Amino acid sequence: MPMKGFTSVVICLVLSACTADKNVSRSFYYWDKEFHLSDEDRTLLEGLNNERIYLRCFTLEWDKPTKNIRNIDEVRLLGSWPAALECVPVIHVNQDFFQFIKPEQIPFIANAMLNKVDSLAKKANFSFSELQIDFKWNEQSRELYFALLSSLKAALDPVEQKLSCSIRLQQLQFPDITGVPPVDRGMLLFYNTGKLNEPGTRNSIYDPDVAARYVSYVKSYQLPLDIALPVFTWGVHQRNGEVLSVIQNITLNDVRNSGLFIEKAKGLFSPLMTCDFKGSWFKEGDRLRVEEISPNNSLRAAKQVQPFLSDKQINVAIFSLDSMNTSRYKREDFDELYSVFE
């Protein structure tokens, strides 16, 4: 009996020591075109002890008509940045961008990107110790993309500023082929695991069976990894098996209550007539698949990846902070997600 009690004490002390060594930073992504925190947002962030916001600042694209690089969807900052929150600027790069770029343009592009972020930071009165780039690279775009990352890293303050980039699950499996980006940290996006137009797909945002094929590669990846978890919803509009558009922030109830669709199976809809819905034009025979991430889905994703994240310092980011997602989740749901890693 005394020996059993002693063993329990030792186990508790070991677990406490392991927990104390972990430093988990709580954060959200913010992806809307206007940045404004409502009173409800501020209350939520304060209640969760959130420390940072990953702010999508703009998207970089190649404009084919003018054959020029341009920034689109630049965030509009309404007011100054909240002093209690750290800002991590995020630059999204369109998928086909590097098809039109030449190697000699890379230093110029990197300089223009940093100047734009510095301008936004000055305007909104925030400084940043990390810059993040979001791009889904492949074997064809790898060389130029990694060159851009290297140029950005060289231009940042080596002591005060770090560079990170988004990592997809599929990019973990064969690092010899996909490469490991030249950054300080990676943000593993633990979502968009399935293919939008693959037959039989029911939820491409998070499929635990698909995620299970890749999650074991997390531990051996040659970069410190942070983690981003999904709480969002969308609708996939298909015609003749092809994806026409992805409609952000719609729910099953939105479609059911519209009176415009018939539900063929759970989450699978066909329009009753030609109609406009949420900015997408539907014809008879089209298909709409609604994909929702519930608190249970998010929690399952967190518990699935947590055992493979061994770094003592980790940033846990929820995608994303907007009224649709915060209306479907309680503060306790978000708190439970963060707590998995603490």
List pLDDT tens digits, range 88-109: 999 999 999 999 999 999 999 9
Contact 115, 54 (CB under 8 A): no
Residue 17's pLDDT band (boundaries 50, 70, 90)? very low
Q: Place 22 in a pLDDT band, splitting at 50, 70 and 90.
A: confident
Check pLDDT > 50 for residue 10: no
Partnered with residue 17 across adjacent β-strands are: none
> Do 268 and 210 reside in the same domain of the chain?
no
Q: What is the mean pLDDT of residues 272-287?
A: 97
On whether residue 12 sits in a domain, the answer given is no
User: Average model confidence (pLDDT) for the chain?
Assistant: 93
CA-based R_g, the chain, Å: 22
- What total number of domains does the chain contain? 2
Average pLDDT over residues 119-130: 95
Domain that holds residue 284: 233-292
33 and 60 in a common domain: yes
Over 50: is that where the pLDDT of 3 sits? no
Nearest to 188 by CA among 176, 180, 197, 199: 180
- pLDDT beyond 70 at 308: yes
Would residue 98 count as lying in a domain? yes
The pLDDT, as a whole number, for residue 18 is 47
148-184 pLDDT per residue, tens? 999 999 999 999 999 999 999 999 999 999 999 999 9
What tokens does 225 get? 């990894």
% pLDDT > 70, the chain: 94
DSSP calls for 58-125: EEEEEETTTTEEEEES--EE-SPPPTTSEEEEEEEE-TTGGGS--GGGHHHHHHHHHHHHHHHHHHHT
Query: Quick one: 209 and 272 in the same domain?
Result: no
